[in-house]
C-alpha cells in the first residue's frame, strides 16, 4: 500500500475539476444519449439531494443529450429507479406556523429502487413535522388501504381533486409519500393554473392522474449509528459519483449522511482489499484521499491534455457546483436559479439573484460570450413549464 501510494502524483484542483466534467458527463464530448443512459446516471447521482425542480430542468439534461421526461418515468415504472425525500421535514417549534416548504425546493433524491432499504436505514429525525388535516387524511387512507391511485384517493377521502393535489404536495414536501412514476412529482411542480394546458402530449406529462400509485415512503426507525452495509454502500456511491473522494469534496452532500470518520473506516478497508487506491490525488487538500482505479488512469490523461476552451454552465443545484470548495472565493448557494460558468476547469462567472458576477478579467467580446453561456440552460422544450 505504501508503494502504491508513493506512485501517485497529485493534480491541481483545476485539473481535478476538468476530470470531473468528463467523469460526470457534463463536458460536451462526454455527454450521454438515449433512454438507457438514465439508469447509469441515476446510479452515479444516487443519494444526492437537489431541489425537486432541478432534476429534469438542469441536472439530467446537462448530462444527457435530448433528454425526454418519459425516459425517467420508464425507469421508475419498471422498478429500476425511484425518487424520494429521504429525510423527513423537521417539526417546527411549538406555536409556529405549519406551512410545508414548496415542492419545487423540496430536497429530492433519485436512487436505484433495489437500494432503497439501505438509504432508508440511515439515521433519520425522530420528530417529523405535523400535517394538515387533509394531508393526514390522505396518509391515513394510504396506510389503511395500501398504494392508491389518484382517483382512489379522491373517492376514498371525499376530498376535491385540487385538495388532494395540495395534500399530496404537502406530503411530498414532508417526505411522507412518493409515487410509482416521476410524473407524480412533475405534476406537482407545475402551478395549478398551468396544469393540463398546451398540447396533448405536453399535458399528459403534467397529469397527476397518470402518476401511478401513491404510497408511504419507506422509513426506518431512528438509529444512533447507521448500519455498516448502508455506510459501505454510501462510500461506494460517493466514489462512483466523484472518482476521487476526500472530506472537503463531499461538503455539499446531504447533511444527514454519516460523519467522514465512518466513511474513512470503509475506505481504508477497501484499500486494504485492493479494491480502491489511496494516496494524494488532488493537491492542496488535507486528509486522506481515495480513488477508483479507473479514475487514477483518467486523472493522468487529464494532466497530459491541454485545457479546453469549452464553456460549461451549470445550475447552483448541480453536484458540480464546487466553487468555494475546490476553488478559492465565495460559495454559490445550491439554488436551481443560480448558475456557475466554468472554462478550462476554472469558474469564470456566477449568477445569483439574477445578477452576474465575473471572477476573472475578460475583454468585451469574451465577456459577452460568457454572459450568454452563463444564462443558457439545458431545459428540454417539453419541460419549459417547470423552469
At 84, which helix (H) or strand (E)?
strand 81-84
> What are 101-146's pLDDT values in tens digits?
578 999 999 999 999 989 988 866 656 678 999 999 999 999 999 9
Distance between CA atoms of residues 294 and 297, nearest Å: 5
Kindly state the percentage of the chain with pLDDT values over 90: 65
Per-residue pLDDT reduced to its tens digit, 293-349: 999 999 989 988 888 889 999 999 999 999 999 998 889 999 999 999 999 899 999
> Would the pLDDT of 290 be above 70?
yes
170 is written with which cell numbers? 404537502
Ranges of beta strands (E only) in the chain are 32-33, 50-51, 64-65, 81-84, 107-112, 177-179, 214-216, 244-245, 277-278, 290-291, 311-315, 339-343, 346-352, 355-358
DSSP 329-362: S------TT-EEEEETTEEEEEEETTEEEESS--
Phi, psi of 321 (to 5 degrees): -80, 85
Tell me the mean pLDDT in the region 369-376: 86
- Say what the pLDDT of residue 212 is: 87
56 touches 72 (CB < 8 A): yes
What's the length of the chain? 387
The residue assigned the cell 439508469 is 39
Q: Is the pLDDT of residue 365 over 50?
A: yes
Task: Find the mean pLDDT for residues 3-23.
Answer: 88
Q: What is the mean pLDDT of residues 168-188?
A: 92
Confidence of residue 207 (pLDDT cuts 50, 70, 90): confident
Q: How far apart are CA 147 and CA 335, in angstroms?
A: 32
Span 36-76, pLDDT tens digits:
999 999 999 999 999 999 999 999 999 999 999 999 999 99
| pLDDT tens per residue, range 84-109 | 998 877 655 444 444 455 789 999 99
Amino acid at each position: 500500500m505504501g508503494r502504491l501510494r508513493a506512485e501517485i502524483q497529485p493534480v491541481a484542483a483545476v485539473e481535478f475539476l476538468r476530470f470531473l466534467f468528463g467523469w460526470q458527463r457534463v463536458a460536451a464530448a462526454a455527454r450521454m444519449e438515449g433512454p438507457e443512459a438514465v439508469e447509469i446516471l441515476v446510479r452515479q447521482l444516487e443519494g444526492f439531494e437537489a431541489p425537486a425542480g432541478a432534476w429534469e430542468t438542469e441536472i439530467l439534461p446537462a448530462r444527457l443529450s435530448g433528454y425526454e421526461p418519459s425516459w425517467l418515468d420508464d425507469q421508475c415504472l419498471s422498478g429500476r429507479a425511484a425518487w424520494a425525500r429521504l429525510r423527513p421535514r423537521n417539526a417546527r417549534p411549538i406555536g409556529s406556523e405549519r406551512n410545508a416548504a414548496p415542492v419545487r425546493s423540496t430536497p429530492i433524491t433519485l436512487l436505484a429502487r433495489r437500494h432503497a432499504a439501505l438509504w432508508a436505514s440511515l439515521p433519520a429525525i425522530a420528530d417529523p413535522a405535523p400535517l394538515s388535516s387533509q394531508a393526514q387524511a390522505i396518509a391515513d387512507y394510504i396506510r389503511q388501504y395500501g398504494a392508491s391511485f389518484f382517483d382512489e384517493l379522491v373517492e376514498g377521502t371525499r376530498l376535491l381533486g385540487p385538495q388532494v393535489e395540495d395534500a399530496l404536495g404537502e406530503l411530498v414536501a414532508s417526505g411522507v409519500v412518493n409515487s410509482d412514476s416521476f410524473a407524480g412529482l412533475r405534476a406537482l411542480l407545475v402551478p395549478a393554473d398551468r396544469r393540463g394546458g398546451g398540447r396533448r402530449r405536453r399535458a399528459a406529462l403534467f397529469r397527476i392522474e397518470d402518476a401511478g400509485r401513491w404510497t408511504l415512503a419507506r422509513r426506518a426507525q431512528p438509529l444512533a449509528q447507521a448500519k455498516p452495509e448502508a455506510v459501505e454502500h454510501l462510500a461506494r456511491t460517493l466514489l462512483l459519483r466523484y472518482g476521487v473522494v476526500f472530506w472537503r469534496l463531499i461538503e455539499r452532500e446531504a447533511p444527514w449522511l454519516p460523519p467522514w470518520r465512518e466513511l474513512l473506516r470503509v475506505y481504508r478497508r477497501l484499500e486494504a482489499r485492493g479494491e480502491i487506491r489511496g494516496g494524494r490525488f488532488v493537491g492542496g487538500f488535507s486528509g486522506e484521499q481515495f480513488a477508483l482505479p479507473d479514475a487514477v488512469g483518467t486523472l493522468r490523461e487529464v494532466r497530459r491534455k491541454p485545457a479546453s476552451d469549452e464553456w460549461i454552465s451549470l445550475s447552483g443545484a448541480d453536484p458540480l457546483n464546487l466553487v468555494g470548495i475546490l476553488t478559492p472565493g465565495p460559495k454559490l448557494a445550491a439554488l436551481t436559479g443560480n448558475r456557475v460558468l466554468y472554462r478550462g476547469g476554472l469558474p469564470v462567472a456566477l449568477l445569483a439573484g439574477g445578477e452576474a458576477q465575473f471572477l476573472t478579467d475578460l475583454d468585451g467580446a469574451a465577456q459577452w460570450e460568457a454572459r450568454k453561456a452563463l444564462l443558457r440552460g439545458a431545459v428540454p422544450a417539453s419541460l419549459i413549464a417547470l423552469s
